[in-house]
Structure 1
Amino acid sequence: MFTAVKILISALIIGVITEIAHRFPTIGGIIAALPLVSLLSLIWLSFQGNSAEEISKFAMGVLWGFPATAVLILIVALLLRYSFPLSLAMLLGAGGWFLCLKVQGLVFG
């Protein structure tokens, strides 16, 4: 039952943000950039009884993924600006994300 509640609340938040973005793209983008998924995940992990150490490891993983996510968003935004199809922009953005994670692993791992 808790899983269903998590899914419902999370989906509701995403739906509201999408509606805001539909009406006000810039404001919607700013709201979407908030660490909502990360914060919700921290809350759900806490409610599920995960230890502070486990939650801290999760938070550090979020930080580790942040630069790659920024690369993904940058690639998608630039490609869409130059009229690339969304699916191709997302695919190339995901490739940039993956490559960034690999480079981070080589440099800092």
Structure 2
Amino acid sequence: MFLIVKIGVSAILIAIITEIARKSPEMGGMIAALPLVSLLSLFWLSVQGESLQHLSQFAKGVLLGFPATAVLLLIVVLSLKASFPVIISVVFGICGWGGCLMLQKLSSVRYSGERRNILSNGIRSCLCCRTSSLRRLDGGMA
């Protein structure tokens, strides 16, 4: 029953936004750009009893997905301006979205590995500096 309520509320919101967009495309676009889906999802997860940690991870995921969504929308806008059909524009956008997410994932994996290397090299450097400093203080005995 709860699933039907969620679907109904979500469908009503989408219908309202679509009607606004028919009368004013810019206004409809601005309303559609609001994080309604994210906020609704956050609300429904909260109502269903998910932990604050879970909600925080969800919100972080939404935030991490924002750059890829911006790329998708930019590609769709440019494709439509170049007179590509809607379906082709959306497919191009989805491909750009997926590519952006893959780049984000690769860069985060690469960055986290580099961060560990930098951190461990930094610690080794500090230990080496400390050891050489101690040698100088002790007259080379350390």
TM-score, normalized by the shorter chain, greater than 0.5: yes
5+ residue gaps in structure 1? none
Moved over 3 A (4+): none
Letter in 2 for 1:93: G
User: How far apart, in 2, do the equivalents of 1:87 and 1:25 lie?
Assistant: 18
Aligned to 2:73: 73
Aligned to 2:104: 104
Higher RCO, 1 or 2 (CA under 8 Å, sep at least 6)?
A: 1
Number of residue equivalences: 109
Structure showing greater radius of gyration is: 2
Pairwise CA distance, 1:64 = 1.0
TM-score (norm 2): 0.76
Pairwise CA distance, 1:105 = 0.6
TM-score (norm 1): 0.98
5+ residue gaps in structure 2? 110-142
CA-atom RMSD in angstroms: 0.5
User: How far apart, in 1, do the equivalents of 2:101 and 2:26 lie?
Assistant: 28
Kindly report which structure 2 residues correspond to 1:1-109, keeping only aligned pairs within 5 A, or say none. 1-109=1-109
Pairwise CA distance, 1:90 = 0.5
Aligned to 2:113: none
Q: Percent identity?
A: 58
